[in-house]
Amino acid sequence: MSKGNSTRLTDELYTYVLDHNPPVDAVQRKLIATTWERFPDSARMQSAEEQGPLLAFLVRLTGARHIVEVGTFTGFSALSMAQALPEGGRLIACDVSEEWTAYGREAWAEAGVADRIDLRIAPALDTLRAMPAEEHIDLAYLDADKGNYIAYWEELVPRMRRGGVIVSDNVLFHGEVVDPGATGSAAAIKEFNVHVAGDGRMESVMLPISDGITLSRKR
């Protein structure tokens, strides 16, 4: 098996990538810094800096007006997507932490997009199951507890419109998905990846961006 023309991502090359992507704005930059300052032990749960412009790009590419985010943390990814929404667009953000999302609320207000984000503090499965059962979601971002990824997927897929896209984060799980003895979250992600690859309702491609993302489009 050939890896093709692969390139090792050094710190210098990563900076080069960021320098050639749309830059994060002042509010996003402040939120990234605040997250690392206030939650140094958990800050790696924040979506990588390059994922902000990517998510915004996908919002515009798909023409998304109805977005669902499963796992919001301190709100960087929600902010990135909300800023790209057209007038009248709406993002439902699912999380269980008032503490973490309070920083997101501040940033959303500062960026002028708080009215586009409907934050629901509750178990995400409860929030998803309370949504209309018909196809209505344009874009979904899945970045929450790994043990429930398949359950979240099964609630999202029937509600995605045709052509709608699910972005699943951490699908490489720090490289542990290739460990035959993987346990816990790594094992859950391995199971999720198999589940997604075999789901005929969606067409999917896995990409080695940050900790790995899978883009899945509703057939």
213-218: strand order across its sheet: 117-121, 90-95, 66-70, 137-142, 160-169, 213-218, 202-207
**88 located within any domain:** yes
Q: Which domain holds residue 179?
A: 11-218
What's the pLDDT band for 7 if we cut at 50, 70, 90? confident
Query: Does some domain include residue 4?
Result: no
Please state which of the ranges 5-14, 102-111, 151-160, 191-200 shows the lowest mean pLDDT: 5-14
Total of domains in the chain: 1
Q: Does residue 6 lie within any of the structural domains?
A: no
69-114: per-residue pLDDT in tens? 999 999 999 999 999 999 999 999 999 999 999 999 999 999 999 9
β-pairing verdict for 90-95 and 160-169: unpaired
CATH of the domain at 40: 3.40.50.150
Measured CA to CA, the distance from residue 59 to residue 215 in angstroms comes to: 13
pLDDT band at 1 (very low <50, low <70, confident <90, very high): low
Please list, in sequence order, all residues whose beta carbon lies within 8 angstroms of the beta carbon of residue 219, skipping any fewer than 6 positions away: 162, 200, 201, 202, 203
Q: Taking the complete model, does pTM exceed 0.75, yes or no?
A: yes
Q: How much is the pLDDT for 3?
A: 64
Strand (E) or helix (H) holding 135:
none
Is residue 2 one of the residues assigned to a domain? no
Task: List CB contacts of 183: < 8 A, sequence separation 6 or more.
Answer: none
